[in-house]
């Protein structure tokens, strides 16, 4: 609650400052005015979807592989018939195998601890490729839980699982207490409304195998949750909060989500430019045009109301 109150107060102060600014005479006012207002930055959306989808795909392939039905591009060190079971699954990936285009080929190495036939803890490392985006590169995601469901599987990961500073953490090295803590994340509650998810700091992906658990090209992915992205530079500091609800990715469209909604909060304080304090609610439509639509925008985003802005998930 404190975070949201602070954010809206900052927006009020920003709008007051802008009003004072535009009333002051001076040369170059239009250029400065254009610098103040800008479209929402969709980079966090891109980074999140380009991380969650490959992770969910890797989890699906790994779960099938240890059951003895790996696809042609995967190989496993063992199959699991008794539990707990440890296995490493290596997946060769390119734009023909991945459910989202990376523009390059490489490997995903999945190290897993299977606690039962329905549950596992996985660590995924990207080799010769990276997930995320060019600004938020993801090289590994450690120890996230996977749960088999009647229609597919679910995964849950948090920001602290991404690019662990000490390198990937392998599930078989977790203590019994840590193992239970990770597995308990599978019970994370979330909403279809992004504004409800804003404080989660976790991403939940539901995979629907469309009735073909060994065929991955027809899978659909539904994403919900929230995360925070920070960027710092000389004389500046930016924090962006992203929340999503019921965001749908289908095999028919890889350039944008085709359903659901997102909420972006941005605070950017710089010594060289006007500060950014803004919020935008966006929605995704079935049209496969690489865009997202701004439903409601405030602060520095206010001129973006009703606009379609680029998402272009196939471009890192």
Q: Which candidate, 201, 100, 222, places its Cα nearest to that of 155?
A: 222
Residues of the chain short of pLDDT 50, as ranges, are 1-7, 10, 13, 16-24, 27
Q: Which candidate, 135, 14, 121, 137, places its Cα nearest to that of 66?
A: 121
> How high is the mean pLDDT of the chain?
89
Question: Which two three-digit tokens encode residue 9?
Answer: 């107060």
Q: What does DSSP say about strands 291-299 and 131-132: parallel, antiparallel, or unpaired?
A: unpaired
For the chain, where are the E strands, in sequence order? Answer: 74-76, 85-93, 106-114, 119-127, 131-132, 137-138, 140-148, 152-157, 202-208, 220-233, 236-249, 259-270, 276-283, 291-299, 308-310
Secondary structure (H, E, C), 199-241: CCCEEEEEEECCCCCCCCCCCEEEEEEEEEEEEEECCEEEEEE
Its pTM stands at: 0.89
Classify the phi-psi angles of 185: left when phi > 0, otherwise alpha if psi is within -120 to 50, otherwise beta. Answer: alpha
DSSP, res 72 = T
Distance CA 63, CA 119 (A): 9
Ordered by start, the domain boundaries in the chain are 43-310
State which H helix or E strand residue 51 sits in.
Answer: helix 43-66
Can you give the pLDDT at residue 312? 95
Q: Which candidate, 154, 240, 225, places its Cα nearest to that of 194?
A: 225
The 8 Å CB, 24+ separation contacts for 106-109 are 108/54, 108/58
- Please tell me whether residue 310 adopts helix, strand or coil conformation: strand
Distance CA 93, CA 108 (A): 7
Can you give the pLDDT at residue 107? 98
260 within 8 A of 283, measured Cβ to Cβ: yes
Can you give the pLDDT at residue 230? 82
Contacts of residue 6, defined as CB under 8 A and 6 or more positions apart, other chains included, come to none
Contacts of residue 242, defined as CB under 8 A and 6 or more positions apart, other chains included, come to 44, 45, 48, 226, 227, 228, 229, 262, 263, 264
Residue 3 burial (CB count, 10 A): 11
Can you give the pLDDT at residue 8? 53
Residue 187, judged by CB atoms within 10 A of its CB (0-12, 13-18, 19+), counts as exposed
């Amino acid at each position: 609650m404190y975070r949201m109150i602070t954010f809206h107060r900052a927006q009020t102060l920003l709008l007051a400052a802008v009003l004072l600014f535009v009333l002051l005479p001076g040369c170059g006012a239009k250029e400065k005015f254009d610098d103040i207002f800008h479209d929402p930055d969709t980079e966090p959306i891109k980074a999140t979807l380009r991380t969650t989808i490959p992770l969910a795909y890797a989890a699906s392939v790994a779960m099938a592989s240890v059951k003895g039905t790996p696809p042609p591009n995967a190989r496993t060190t063992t199959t699991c018939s008794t539990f707990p079971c440890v296995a490493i699954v290596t997946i060769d990936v390119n734009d023909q195998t991945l459910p989202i285009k990376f523009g390059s080929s490489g490997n995903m190495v999945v190290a897993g601890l299977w606690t039962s036939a329905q549950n596992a803890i996985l660590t995924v490392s990207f080799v010769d490729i990276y997930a995320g985006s060019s600004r938020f590169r993801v090289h590994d995601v450690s120890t996230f839980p996977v749960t088999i469901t009647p229609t597919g599987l679910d995964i849950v990961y948090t920001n602290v699982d991404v690019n662990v500073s000490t390198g990937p953490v392998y599930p078989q090295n977790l203590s019994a207490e840590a193992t239970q803590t990770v597995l308990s994340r599978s019970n994370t509650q979330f909403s279809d409304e992004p504004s409800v998810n804003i404080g989660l700091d976790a991403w939940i992906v539901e995979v629907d195998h469309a009735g073909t658990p060994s065929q991955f090209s027809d899978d659909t992915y539904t994403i919900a949750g929230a995360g925070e992205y920070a960027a710092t530079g000389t004389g500046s500091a930016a924090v962006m909060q992203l929340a999503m609800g019921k965001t749908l990715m289908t095999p028919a469209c890889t350039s944008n989500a085709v359903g659901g909604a997102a909420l972006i909060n941005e605070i950017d304080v710089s010594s060289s430019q006007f500060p950014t304090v803004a919020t935008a609610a966006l929605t995704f439509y079935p049209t496969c045009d690489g865009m997202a639509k701004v439903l409601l925008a405030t602060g520095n985003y206010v001129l973006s109301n009703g606009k379609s802005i680029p998402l272009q998930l196939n471009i890192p």
